[in-house]
Chains A and B, each alone.
Chain A
């Protein structure tokens, strides 16, 4: 199956700093990527849909100015958590969908990035 990677796998930062998380599709080109957030013992919550070459679409309640998404190429999407605070500590997961896969094809998920804000 297709492989999606994330970098870093974990990060610790100080409150008020910004953190960038990368999501890469390693063996396919992804026109659409998705970003999720998962708090401990909870399910994945979709944050935004990232489309190559255009602005991301954010889910209701997700601050677009705080969670900046850039999808500048067909293999890379980045999520930047700006001015991070302890409540932003979470597990961030991306997924990617192969182009021309049709609406019913599965998404491939990255391994996740654990963010801890002190």
Chain B
């Protein structure tokens, strides 16, 4: 079962930063936070993951709160191609092994 809560939808103006929140208040100490996105009718694409430190790569930044109960994915300069459903996943679940369980995600629409 998914252990994350995300807003169902968000809009962002093109060129602006998109900040996507995720609540994972029951995360355990050895669980990572992963972010994937899914563009319509395609397979999910890996974005970034982290344990407790903030992370940055060429796609995005991940900010994890000190208590690790929530995180924010930041797309610094959103483009129209960033319109997708964004999924926040906690992994690995010590009770279930290697499986990813997707929540409902956030549908991000980037507006011209």
With A93-B44, A104-B91 in contact, do A43 and B98 touch (Cβ < 8 Å)? no
Question: B: which residues have CB within 8 A of A?
Answer: 2, 32, 34, 36, 38, 41-46, 49, 51, 87, 91-92, 97-105
With A43-B87, A43-B105, A104-B49 in contact, do A110 and B43 touch (Cβ < 8 Å)? yes
Once the chains bind, are B101 and A109 in contact (CB under 8 Å)? no
Interface residue from B32, B43, B51, B91 paired with A93 (Cβ < 8 Å): B43
With A91-B41, A103-B92 in contact, do A108 and B46 touch (Cβ < 8 Å)? yes
Secondary structure dominating the interface of B: loop
Question: A: which residues have CB within 8 A of B?
Answer: 1, 4, 6, 32, 34, 36, 43-46, 49, 91, 93, 95, 97, 103-104, 106-112, 114
Question: A25 → chain B, closest Cβ, in Å?
Answer: 13
Residues of A within 8 A of B43 (CB): 4, 6, 93, 95, 109-112
